[in-house]
Homo-oligomer: A and B are copies of this chain.
Amino acid sequence: MSRNKFNDLNCSLSDSLNLIGEWWTILILRESFFGTRRFEDFQQQLGIARNILTARLSTLCESGILERVPVKQGAKRHEYQLTTMGRDLLTIVIALTQWGDRWLRKDQGVPVTFIERNNGEEIPKVCVRAKDGRELKTRDIAMLPGSGASEDTRNRLKQIAEKWEKRMQQESNS
């Protein structure tokens, strides 16, 4: 798997996968959201090899998702805490879990239910919403080149838009 390939794609999805698109990484993040902070606890909870855990934690710190913080002021031992950038991955961890609950756990039941701490209400399905809160589906969403779009991306988006028009015409004719 060549990482350079992905860096060429001018795509924030590939960039994100470059950082967190690895199984252990996202399960380490899950542990962080569970409140795990110490190396030994990550190791015990995940049953991950120490050298792999060390490497993944380093990468997560270098990329700014986790930070190493002394256990107490002036202490030599440290622990790993989510940064703002890391906490912002909550959406993805919850959305992936909910998707698994819906599609892969139909028969066995859901292992974990997410509730709002204050009132005990179940957390609704995370989904793409319009400003007014309507749930949006694939067909409701279009794409425009952003300020960082490369020439290739612009051409690609044009192609996608033309293909869409064509498909809509075919559908309305049939």
Contact = CB atoms under 8 A, between A and B. Distances in A.
Nearest to A24: B1
B109 A147 contact: yes
A99 B89 contact: yes
A13 B111 CA distance: 10
Interface residues of A, number: 90
How many copies of this protein are present in the complex? 2
A138 interface: yes
Interface string A100-123: 111111001111111111100101
Given A12-B99, A112-B145, 17 more contacts: A11-B97, A11-B100, A13-B96, A19-B104, A21-B21, A35-B163, A88-B99, A91-B99, A91-B126, A92-B99, A113-B143, A114-B142, A115-B142, A116-B130, A121-B131, A124-B129, A124-B130
